Amino acid sequence: MTAAGYRVPALIATKRDGGELDEEALGWLVSGYLAGLEGDAVDAAVSEGQMAAFLMAGVVRGFTAAEALALTHVLVDSGEQLDLSGLDGPTVDKHSTGGVGDGTTLLAAPLLAAAGVRLVKLSGRGLGHTGGTLDKLESIPGLRVDLTPDELLRVAAEVGCVVAAQTDRLVPADRALYALRDVTATVESTALIASSVMSKKLASGAGTIVLDVKAGSGAFMPDADAARVLAGLCVRIGVGAGRRCVALVTAMDQPLGTGVGNALEVAECVRLLSAPPAGRLAEVALEIAAAGLSHARGDVDLDGARDELVRRWAAGEALEVLRRMVAAQGGDAEVCERPGEVLPRAPVRRDVTAAAGGWVASVPARAVGELAAALGAGRTRKQDRVDPAVGLQLHVAVGDPVDPGTRVVTVHARDEDAADRAAAAFVDLLAVSDAEIPPPATLLDVVT
């Protein structure tokens, strides 16, 4: 027995046999594992192999909702928490579970700020086929994402929104556990995903949390039903921690926007904010912002919130907030006026056309994301560098009619060989049907 009265093998066996652990036991396990990583031989009660065995037992047997909430609390308590109480107005945080061509943060954040909400968003970098908000922002010359807590609060107070990198002091236990899950095939657990997501959101301090849970071939959750389960658990955790929380379930079988690549996605967001909202990316961003605004105000009038945001969007208020945020974080604010001149441009552009006529049946999100990453827009390892200029500019979506010779994508590449490979690969992955294909729904569900 240990001083806390626990033995690691007994806790692993409890989980292996389908039992439930309380918050004290989970906290003891996690703190013992962190002590081992830090080289504390006296307090290191949990080895890497033991924690891996515990995670595998939980993935196989399942974690309860109570365990997910308890683990979330343990992760939050492992580090510092942001205090947003000094900000004027309701506070909102937004999170997406990851996708392709997903620039919703660059649309929803300034839109919410234009409506009087304060949004402090700690984002990540892209890995694999998914894009990262930080990589997109860093394609803007001069823009800084590594901000201190004081800088975060200053920009949020002055501008209304700020998007920056997560600090090492926030939920360090989640970072340690995720690294272990990544190499032990224990990522795919709804409870572990929910506790990982929500621990970061709770530690970020916002009173209202709005989640965009992706479903489809380009997402963690393969279908809408699985995404609804994850969304429901995240909402339960958020509400259980005393926050207002809402989750949207959205489709990620095809890229959400037309740009897939960092500078291309920033340029698309600027273009969208320069006119009334239109298109799939704008639709999702507007619904995220409307859900966040209505919940932050404690107002059930979602339609009223949406109408207000449409007016602010069309009047250019959100674009102005984005301009101010870029400037406050050291970036070239002229990107909001002249994105084509400010953002980096790839030296080679190659148009690809349809070989046959019909209706677009599939533009697979994961394959498109992987193709953009192969051009240099993404990374396969965290230490890889990205090329901000390269990527894919899509000209068609599922359900669109095409004729032979219709332009379907423009490849932005660093050299001719890379452009040739990407063009040939895109022709192979684009599916065209002889039968008419109806455009699929983008917003699949709202979980409150």
What does the pLDDT read at residue 300? 74
In SS3 terms, the chain reads as: CCCCCCCHHHHHHHHHCCCCCCHHHHHHHHHHHHHHHCCCCCCCCCCHHHHHHHHHHHHHHCCCHHHHHHHHHHHHHCCECCCCCCCCCCEEEEEECCCCCCCHHHHHHHHHHHCCCEEEEEECCCECCECCHHHHHCCCCCCCCCCCHHHHHHHHHHHCEEEEECCCCECHHHHHHHHHHHHCCCCCCHHHHHHHHHHHHHHCCCCEEEEEEEECCCCCECCHHHHHHHHHHHHHHHHHCCCEEEEEEEECCCCCCCEECHHHHHHHHHHHHCCCCCCHHHHHHHHHHHHHHHHHCCCCCHHHHHHHHHHHHHCCHHHHHHHHHHHHCCCCHHHHCCHHHHCCCCCEEEEEECCCCEEEEECCHHHHHHHHHHHHHCCCCCCCCCCCCCEEEECCCCCCEECCCCEEEEEEECCHHHHHHHHHHHHHHCEEECCCCCCCCCEEEEEC
* Structure confidence at residue 128 as a pLDDT band (50, 70, 90): low
**Is the per-residue pLDDT at 44 higher than 60?**
no
* Structure confidence at residue 35 as a pLDDT band (50, 70, 90): confident
The model carries a pTM of: 0.92
**Is the per-residue pLDDT at 299 higher than 50?**
yes
What does the pLDDT read at residue 219? 87
**Is the per-residue pLDDT at 88 higher than 60?**
yes
What residues are labeled active site? 95, 174, 181, 196, 200
Give percent above pLDDT 90 in the chain.
80
**Is the per-residue pLDDT at 41 higher than 90?**
no
The string of pLDDT tens digits covering residues 419-432 is 999 999 999 999 99
Domains and CATH numbers, the chain: 8-62 (no CATH), 91-339 (3.40.1030.10), 344-433 (3.90.1170.30)
